[in-house]
Amino acid sequence: MESNIIQTEYSELMQKSYIDYAMSVIIARALPDIRDGLKPVQRRTLYDMYELGIRFDKPYRKSARIVGDTMGKYHPHGDSSIYDALVVMAQDFKKGLPLVDGHGNFGSIEGDGAAAMRYTEARLKKVTQEAYLADLDKDVVDFVPNFDETEKEPAVLPVKVPNLLINGAEGIAVGMATSVPPHNFGEVIDGVIAYMKNPDISTAEMMQYIKGPDFPTGGIIANKDDLPAIYESGMGKIKIRGKIEIEQGKAGKERMVITEIPYTMIGANIGKFLNDVCNLVETKATSDIVDITNQSSKEGIRIVLDLKKGADTEALSNLLYKKTKLEDTFGVNMLAVADGRPETMGLIPVIRHHVHFQYEIATRKYKTLLAKELDKKEIQEGLIRACNVIDLIIEILRGSRSIKDAKACLTEGNTDKITFKNPSSEIMAQQLNFTERQAQAILEMRLYKLIGLEIEALMKEHDETLANIGKYEDILGHRSSMAKVIMKELTGLKKAYGSGRRTVIDNLKEAVVEEKKLEEMDVVFLMDRFGYAKVIDTSVYERNKETADAENRYVFTCKNTDRICIFTDSGQLHLLKVLDLPYGKFRDKGTPVDNVCNYDSSSEDLVFIASLEEVSNSRLVFATKQAMLKVVDGIEFAVSKKTTAATKLGEGDMVLSVRILEENDTLVMRSSKEMFLRIECALIPQKKKSAVGVRGMKLSAGDELKNVYLLHEGDSEEAEVNGKTVSLSRLHIGNRDTKGVKK
């Protein structure tokens, strides 16, 4: 068997494959079609429900049945994507016009997910049937084969309203994304009618009808003046704010109630907002909030902030808008598939595409209806003629041996195989020229149709058919007549399903938060042996001085505006703001320093703590386990980074001691083999923090520094060695980089 090897450039093959994949995602998965504003999964789900007969006036059906049928027939991309699409189309807080009537737990605005598809039920909404799925039997759209060519599905639904604007759209494709905000149903229909009356309408004129997005969560659009540019280009940013109401509480206190939230806050962002408000209180950004409760329910959003008496509600509102998601940005990118390719469009082009689609639907619809009326007219005229010569027709039927002979006589006047009792009847029969369809209708006609009332009804029906034919020909022949029909239908839909605007559009000043000037004062930093730190007032410390000194590992005075330096054995310096530490009562537990800076007690040990003000105005002496020494000017540690390298270490080395150096200090090094060496600190060179340092003591093999003692002038510190007490201040002062003495 001969092998056929095709050689091709790998990069070209990859490029072609990736482009094919990208276009598949863009066209067939992620982006909506400009005509019906639906993604394929939404379109297929709605059509499947229509095919299953799950109408608004029929009982609900299990969501699992809908999902399974859709996946098996039209959308073979997994059940989760289909069910997610079904759920979103039923959520009134996400869609301006929900298309599915959900029964059961379909999730909540606070981010709770829907129940499993085996528990929930659904059916179509009435508006979906009337405005999205009507006329599918009138050949208004093309049907294409499904994925395995066993079924037919509509390439697009005959949606009568601009769904892309009404319900918006969100989707991420390959290299592009769409984000269309929802709009008010009635306003959009008014805009479409205005465009049909004046196709040259400008964006500014259109905005007299479509004033701006209308989010299902309400809220306030704060940058009204930016909307014309956004609608002109199809891209931009909309600022949305939640709605705040002030209520009177008990004892003259006020409550701030959030009744509407930005559309972008739907889901987990509500919980994040509550946490952000708590953080504002904890960090003392505001002291006006006493309590916060989320009283939201099915009736709507209600987040209550209890305020202290005399609270500045305007300043607090600005703080919430500035520091939380109560004011957020909705990025607009009106991208949709138009004529088979993705395109970003402004407001007018979106409506133009929709109107062209409506004319196309109407043309196909009325062509189909006209063809049906013409067929009815043909049959009706045949039956009317037949009633006028019914005696002759009865004689033909009685004289025929087969239906074929009778039909030949009715259509062609062929009387060869028919027996007539009256010769004149044969002459009359030869003049008959009914059409094939008329002859078939005559043969199938029942005798009761010959009753006078039935004949009158037939004549009346014929008149109606002629009127319909005239009406349909006028619609198809005159674009103005077709426009009137479309506009009348749109007006009816607006009257039936339109609702008031929920989102307020205004020009609001940017929220400005005046930072309160922090009053600088002295505080006392306390940290216990478990790493819990806090700051207290100096007067509180003075009253509890003995207890504070006994219970805490580090105690020193610093400014409340200062930062704390934490030096670790790994040679790192971690900085934390004093303001980040809890300020309160002496008996408060405090917070672990791990939580307020980058220090990790599980991987490094704390060596020294001091305030940055003290450090930057001093010189520090570093000592490592391998007896490397150096002096560093403290100003080098006044950096903005939260974590920085305090010193450079050799391989396997660790920082043993960091101390603030004073004039005439001496340093005592003690090794693990009880070798002692006392040197003058003046012998230790000053180096940069990035340097390793110099050797302070010669260590024998396997030895390392155990302790380092910094002796200030006049100190009389002692150390315990093998049961003996050694006075460190009496040790002989030696030279740096010597072995020292054995104790």
Q: Which residues are catalytic?
A: 119
- Count of other CB atoms within 10 angstroms of residue 50: 19
- Tell me the C-alpha distance between 180 and 346, whole Å: 11
Look up residue 558 and give its two tokens: 């610093």
- Tell me the C-alpha distance between 121 and 648, whole Å: 66
- Tell me the C-alpha distance between 5 and 239, whole Å: 59
Let me know how long the chain is: 743
Three-state secondary structure of 135-151: CHHHCCCCEEECCCCCC
Q: Rounded to the nearest 5 degrees, what angle is found at the Cα of 335, between the Cα atoms of 321 and 98? A: 70
- Tell me the C-alpha distance between 588 and 583, whole Å: 9
- Tell me the C-alpha distance between 512 and 316, whole Å: 10
Q: Are 323 and 513 in contact (CB under 8 A)?
A: yes
- Tell me the C-alpha distance between 549 and 555, whole Å: 7
Residue 573 β-bridge partners = 567, 644
Phi/psi for 420 (5° steps) reads -110, 140
Phi/psi for 639 (5° steps) reads -115, 165
Nearest to 706 by CA among 632, 635, 624: 624
Read off the DSSP letter of residue 26.
Answer: I
**Burial class (CB within 10 angstroms; exposed 0-12, middle 13-18, buried 19+) of 170:** middle
Inter-axis angle of helices 347-388 and 436-444, nearest 10:
60
DSSP of 245-258: EEEE-GGG-EEEEE
Helix, strand, coil % over all residues of the chain, rounded to 5: 40, 25, 35
DSSP of 51-97: HTT--TTS--EEHHHHHHHHHHHT--S-HHHHHHHHHHHH-TTT-SS
- Tell me the C-alpha distance between 105 and 568, whole Å: 53
Inter-axis angle of helices 185-197 and 347-388, nearest 10:
80
Residue with tokens 């009496």: 730
Q: Are 185 and 497 in contact (CB under 8 A)?
A: yes
- Tell me the C-alpha distance between 561 and 646, whole Å: 22
Look up residue 222 and give its two tokens: 């704060």
- Count of other CB atoms within 10 angstroms of residue 83: 23
Q: What is the distance between the terminal CA atoms of the chain, rounded to a whole angstrom?
A: 92
Inter-axis angle of helices 313-323 and 268-282, nearest 10:
120
Nearest to 673 by CA among 710, 652, 695, 699: 699
